[in-house]
């Protein structure tokens, strides 16, 4: 039987060790074993985000929940927020914040491009934003934003604005430095480049933003969520990071066990750890993209290699459903288009073990060969 291969931009293929971690005997959420595992996972999440002072928050949820965590804990009615959109997910983040009463000033990139830094600078010079929000990689387009560049602009022209990053499709496969880049809030999820199953909302909060949420925010006459409250979760995360069990809401024990294993594979399984994993993944991505464009003559959505994601590839194709079916019939599962404003396209995910170990598992190679077969057959028709 043909081995099935999940090459969507999340969820992704799991390593045998991650899969095996899920089948462990049930353990209590207040047991020493679980507390130690959660402690490891929290500390390793800090290493993953490259932060020493950031506060990790890991709870049951999806990537989407991370938007609400920011909205619910930070946004007051009529707060002005600059949101730099590079696709569907940036737009959805904007909708989410609007629900919390924010006045969202949305800068839309031309599909396939980033918003020019100069445009952002002008906005920052003219307005007073509580936060500047961006998506490092919008999974709908594969455009890679210049998070470092935008954050530098904020530091220079609007230093009081919080810098907020959706890192769902980037953390673990793109260069990201929470501390060095002065990020205040970054959210991600477990099922993309981290390489765990879906079901965990993973966020990092800067000391500056945490101080605002805990002490400075005026919540008079504001709706406050219970499950989403940093004030509820902070003592729990602080306690767990010190190795002491603590309870607010029951954590998803098995998923935390798998996160712990996935993070160790990402951070500690090779001599140079995360950097090495990211380099290997990028190399796979570069090779795949080059084959598709140079060998098969396909065109990608992102127009500039500097602003092209490494965790997925978006290619314009005449009939995405037909291509997806051909690959699925051959055991390889990729994803369809999300934006309707541009010509039809397909999305191939190459995150986690499929990307950093393509030399051995040939996942991306196999996908390329099938794409080549498809293109060759179609061009003959």
| 7 and 349 Cβ atoms separated by less than 8 Å | yes
| Nearest residue to 298 via CA among 344, 353, 356 | 344
Q: Give, as one character, the DSSP assignment of residue 73.
A: H
> Which residues lie across from 203 on neighbouring strands?
57, 187
Nearer to a copy of itself, 111 or 349 (CB): 349
State how far the Cα of 223 lies from the Cα of 12, in Å rounded to an integer. 36
Kindly state the smallest distance separating residue 117's Cβ from a copy of itself, in Å: 29
> Which residues lie across from 174 on neighbouring strands?
171
Helices then strands, each counted (H, E), the chain: 14, 13
What secondary structure does DSSP assign to 162-206, as a single string?
EEEEE-TTTBTTB---TTTTT-SEEEEETTSTT-S-S-EEEEEE-
| Nearest residue to 142 via CA among 280, 301, 292 | 301
Dig out the tokens for 26 from the structure: 């049930």
Nearer to a copy of itself, 53 or 250 (CB): 250
Nearer to a copy of itself, 96 or 150 (CB): 96
Kindly state the smallest distance separating residue 205's Cβ from a copy of itself, in Å: 18
Kindly state the smallest distance separating residue 125's Cβ from a copy of itself, in Å: 30
Dig out the tokens for 106 from the structure: 């949305």
SS3 249: coil
347 known ligand binder? yes
Kindly state the smallest distance separating residue 372's Cβ from a copy of itself, in Å: 23
Nearer to a copy of itself, 255 or 317 (CB): 255
Kindly state the smallest distance separating residue 73's Cβ from a copy of itself, in Å: 12
Query: How many CA within 13 A on the CB side of residue 373?
Result: 10
H helices of 84-162, in order, are 88-99, 117-126, 147-157
80: left (phi over 0), alpha (psi -120 to 50) or beta: beta
| Nearest residue to 137 via CA among 55, 193, 183 | 193
Q: Which residues bind a copy of itself (CB under 8 A)?
A: 4, 6, 8, 10-14, 19-20, 22-23, 25-31, 59-65, 67-68, 71-72, 77, 92, 95-96, 99-101, 189, 191, 197-199, 201, 222-229, 248-255, 333, 335
Nearer to a copy of itself, 120 or 259 (CB): 259
Nearer to a copy of itself, 20 or 290 (CB): 20
Kindly state the smallest distance separating residue 177's Cβ from a copy of itself, in Å: 26
Nearer to a copy of itself, 66 or 112 (CB): 66
| 15 and 193 Cβ atoms separated by less than 8 Å | no
State how far the Cα of 151 lies from the Cα of 155, in Å rounded to an integer. 6
Nearer to a copy of itself, 82 or 353 (CB): 353
Kindly state the smallest distance separating residue 328's Cβ from a copy of itself, in Å: 9
Kindly state the smallest distance separating residue 252's Cβ from a copy of itself, in Å: 3
Kindly state the smallest distance separating residue 74's Cβ from a copy of itself, in Å: 13
Separation of CA 280 from chain center: 18
Bridge-based pairing of strands 137-138 and 143-144 is: antiparallel
Nearer to a copy of itself, 4 or 155 (CB): 4
| Nearest residue to 172 via CA among 151, 149, 195, 150 | 195
Q: Which residues are annotated as a binding site for substrate?
A: 347
Q: Which residues are annotated as a binding site?
A: 347
């Amino acid at each position: 039987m043909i081995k099935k291969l999940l090459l969507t931009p999340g969820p992704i293929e799991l390593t045998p060790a991650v899969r095996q971690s899920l089948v462990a005997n049930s353990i209590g959420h207040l047991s020493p074993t679980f507390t130690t595992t959660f402690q490891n996972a929290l500390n390793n999440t800090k290493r993953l985000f490259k932060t020493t002072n950031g506060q990790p928050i890991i709870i049951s949820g999806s990537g989407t929940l991370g938007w609400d965590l920011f909205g619910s804990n930070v946004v007051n009615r009529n707060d002005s927020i600059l949101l730099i959109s590079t696709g569907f997910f940036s737009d959805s983040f904007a909708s989410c914040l609007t629900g919390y009463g924010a006045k969202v000033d949305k800068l839309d990139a031309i599909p396939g491009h980033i918003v020019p830094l100069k445009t952002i600078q002008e906005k920052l010079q003219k307005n007073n934003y509580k936060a500047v929000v961006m998506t490092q990689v919008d999974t709908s387009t594969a455009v890679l934003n210049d998070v470092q560049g935008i954050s530098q602009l904020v530091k220079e022209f609007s230093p009081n604005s919080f810098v907020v990053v959706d890192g769902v499709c980037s953390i673990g496969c793109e260069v990201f430095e929470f501390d060095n880049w002065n990020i205040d809030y970054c959210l991600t999820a477990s099922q993309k480049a981290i390489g765990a199953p879906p079901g965990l909302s993973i966020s990092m909060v800067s000391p500056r933003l945490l101080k605002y949420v805990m002490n400075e925010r005026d919540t008079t006459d504001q709706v406050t969520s219970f499950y989403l409250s940093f004030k509820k979760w902070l003592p729990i995360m602080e306690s767990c990071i010190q190795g002491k069990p603590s309870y607010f809401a029951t954590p998803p024990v098995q998923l935390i066990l798998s996160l712990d294993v996935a993070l160790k594979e990402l951070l500690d399984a090779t001599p140079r750890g995360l950097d090495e994993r990211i380099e290997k993944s990028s190399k796979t991505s570069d090779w795949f993209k080059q084959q598709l464009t140079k060998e098969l003559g396909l065109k990608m959505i992102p127009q500039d290699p500097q602003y092209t994601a490494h965790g997925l590839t978006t290619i314009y194709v005449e009939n995405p459903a037909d291509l997806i079916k051909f690959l699925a019939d051959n055991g390889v599962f990729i994803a369809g288009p999300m934006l309707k404003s541009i010509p039809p396209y397909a999305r191939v995910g190459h995150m986690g073990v499929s990307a950093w170990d393509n030399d051995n598992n040939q996942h991306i190679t196999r996908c390329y060969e099938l794409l080549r077969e498809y293109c060759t057959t179609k061009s003959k028709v």
